[in-house]
Structure 1
């Protein structure tokens, strides 16, 4: 089955992971992404109807800015709701075939070698390998070393995306130690960027 929207020839290297804890609205965060970026839409705590409405608003922004949106959930829901792909939790890896038949991109989380191998078997297009650095999302979770992260990237057989305390400087440092350009994703980094942008706009505002 052909995808409902043309899928990108290259997977995004820069991603926003939505989170209900963010102080900034999702539309404002999405506006910070450059064209060709990607969004993992989670907001799992919302009831289906408001979650669908939020996704529809996000999709309008994404279409205008050339962004890829991947829904955390099931392939059939991602297809019905008009997302470009589905973010499958490890427990749903066996649904990757269905997602590909629907013409959806498939992304998966990876935290260890077992999950990396499962993502490879599932034929995931991209994997979010975490945590590379300590992160507020998983307080106390041990971070991966760069060497361990790169081993998981090779083992997964998919486009690797670094997640967990990521910032642009940390992404550049990772890529200096790799033989490929890896992608990166963040939650807090985008929220902090939005806050700095608002503060700058406030400073530059001209009093009436």
Structure 2
């Protein structure tokens, strides 16, 4: 079984009775062909963040059903990004505005202290702060770097999940240096 976090990452955090996953696999067109294998390797208590924005509605729904069934069979939560409420997700992922008032675990995206504060006001349970490192999702984009990420994490009122160029090794290094609730990846887990 793949380990998604280091022993130093500590206990999982509970928010409103919801457990914040320590390891999150984000779906994308790039990792689609390896998702089934990657989901089977995730430790129980991890989460699959279903995005698949590139698919048409009918194809997206069909892909969601297959991946959600596999995730749940393996003890992995299913978090939806821009999915209808009737798709039965364990939570939602997106901007502060997209997660505000939604049911389940609310995971907001942020890139700055201002966006972290906005997520907190919107009622997010945790924040995926990115990009920590350079990433293929945003080639040439400016990364926070580990020091800035840790500085922002220390100032955050919410649990912080590292995203962007993350690998198991980078997550272990970050968690040993500061407050990190978990980590998320597209390529780093697929």
TM-score, normalising length: structure 2: 0.84
Instruction: Report the equivalent of 1:148.
Output: 148
Which residue of structure 1 aligns with residue 187 of structure 2? Answer: 188
For residues 62 and 142 of structure 1, the distance between their equivalents in structure 2, rounded to whole angstroms, comes to: 33
| Higher helix content, 1 or 2 | 1
Match for 2:19 among 10, 32, 36?
10
Within 5 Å, give how 1:1-208 maps onto structure 2. 9-22=18-31, 24-73=33-82, 77=84, 79-90=85-96, 92-93=97-98, 96-97=100-101, 99=102, 103-178=103-178, 180-191=179-190
| SS of aligned partner of 2:139 | coil
Greater Rg over alpha carbons, structure: 1
Whether the 8 Å contact between 2:95 and 2:110 is mirrored in structure 1 is: no
For 2:60, what is the secondary structure of its paired residue? helix
Give the Cα separation in 2 of the matches to 1:119 and 1:156.
10
C-alpha separation between the residues in 1 aligned to 2:90 and 2:82?
A: 12
- The answer on whether the counterparts of 1:109 and 1:127 sit within 8 Å (CA) in structure 2 is yes
The structure, 1 or 2, with the larger RCO (C-alpha pairs under 8 Å, 6+ apart) is 2
Q: Is the 8 A contact 1:120 1:155 kept in 2?
A: no
Unaligned runs of 5+ in 1: 1-6, 192-208
How far 1:156 moved relative to its partner? 3.8
> Counting strand residues as a fraction of each chain, which structure ranks higher?
2
Distance 1:81 1:9 in 2: 19
